[in-house]
A and B are shown apart, each in its own frame.
Chain A
């Protein structure tokens, strides 16, 4: 009961934060969608980092480390330390400058302008939003399984069918409602403030869980001695080719619509400097405790007994929740659970705002014209579409659950394989409208075929020729973009002057 009370208090605190941020809300779409481009370095970093770290980073990483060992950190987290910052520098910073100069609020506005095509926006919109749904699903599934693990046996009469645990669907519904309430009040500013607060909470609580669990298991050395030695190595768990091809997946941050929008909130280019350096270190602080907990749980037994802490049949998604629930005091368990939910909600809020912004600006306003809607009506349109997407995601979460890590990887693979499009748009003058269309269609088709071949993510070990499927999606995007661009008409001189002013056109 105590953990649930602490979690409820935490959720209440977030709603109060939304009310406070609402007092700063100026009522304009620019303020709702990009906070009037006013964010400083610390808030920008915390927002971007909080958005990047979701259930995938805490629940997913612990579960994956439990499943395939500590190589999980190298295959995705450490690679992200180099590649995420590279994306912020090579793409985020450039898009921020273009956004400031030309007034963009969404990726699609940039792509439409750069590739001289309205239709490209209509093609990209369902793909970008469609890929975001599994990402939102990762958050809702993660929240549900963690709280269910922590509250197992706490409410035997109320929730008899789940062994006394709070049903995951109920947690997902409450989490969605809380995030919706605070972003409805203040838009991206609310999300940024909540992210800053929640990022601090989940980093501190992750460390707290780590210290507490290791101490319960007899210290760091004793805890690591309990882990399965076969999971302390990469060999036999992750092949060389799989490890190498995982490096493409962090490129997804260059194409996340919510990160694009977060970057646009920056007041100055100097704010990116702090983000480039702090991001790798923060990844390490967040991931290492979870990876080690997952490793320890491969063999850890309950102190004073012979019973394993994690039951044989437990889902990898539930490992962190079960470990915290069994080894921590109720108060600590509540605080850590609040921290995990903070990581999840700090991504959901930016993603919700992003889908609302895209729908309003890229579809409704683009089709019907800006003058048909008042500022207030535009904000309400965004809120309506966000609610619709949340409902769709919630309904998906009721279906057969997938492993959080695997689902996240499929979502990231889709965005990562579209990275060549944004990179070419910024750096390659010869990239054309037809090339962009061909690349988007080819990538979407290859993604869908491979996702279907993996039984829609149910096959958690799905590889193609020993490589991650992202390699083939990425190759499809690069090849079609280059080949079709080279055989079609170059962009107009007006566009080239606008996007490549320093070079000869």
Chain B
């Protein structure tokens, strides 16, 4: 399995783990002040950032690097679209 597939799989898994039904009635306070569901979603947010970091680091599409070196177009011509 390629790195790209692994990272995409991780991000999709995260999407499903967002639905924290097992914590929805848990009133405990983590570290004495963070409601359990809030603490879980903070951790989840960090995991999402990690997933994006992996994508940027290991699976960035090479075609955009080529696009960077290409010159910018001038303004589009008016009326280019057809009706």
Q: What is the interface of chain A, defined by CB distance below 8 A to chain B?
A: 29-30, 37, 70-71, 73-74, 77-79, 81-82, 85-86, 89, 93, 97, 100-105, 109, 112-113, 115-119, 121, 220-221, 223-225, 229, 232-236, 240, 243-244, 247, 268-270, 273, 276-278, 280-281, 283-284, 288, 291-292, 295, 365-366, 369-370
Contact = CB atoms under 8 A, between A and B. Distances in A.
Interface of B: 11, 14-15, 18-21, 23-27, 29, 31-38, 40-42, 44-46, 48-49, 51-53, 55-56, 60, 64-65, 67-68, 70, 72-76, 78-83
B76 A234 contact: no
Given A102-B73, A269-B67, A284-B42, A224 B78 contact: no
Given A85-B52, A101-B67, A233-B35, A281 B45 contact: yes
A435 B68 CA distance: 33
A354 B67 CA distance: 25
B49 A81 contact: yes
A278 B45 CA distance: 11
A127 to B, nearest CB: 18
Contacts of B74: 103
Nearest to A104: B76
Nearest to B20: A74
Q: Which of A112, A233, A365 has most chain B Cβ within 10 Å?
A: A233
A117 B38 CA distance: 47
Contact of A229 (B27, B49, B80): B27
A86 B56 CA distance: 12
B19 to A, nearest CB: 6
B82 A81 contact: no
A103 B41 contact: no
A244 B38 CA distance: 16
Contacts of A277: 49, 52-53, 56
B44 A103 contact: no
Contact of A82 (B18, B20, B26, B64): B18
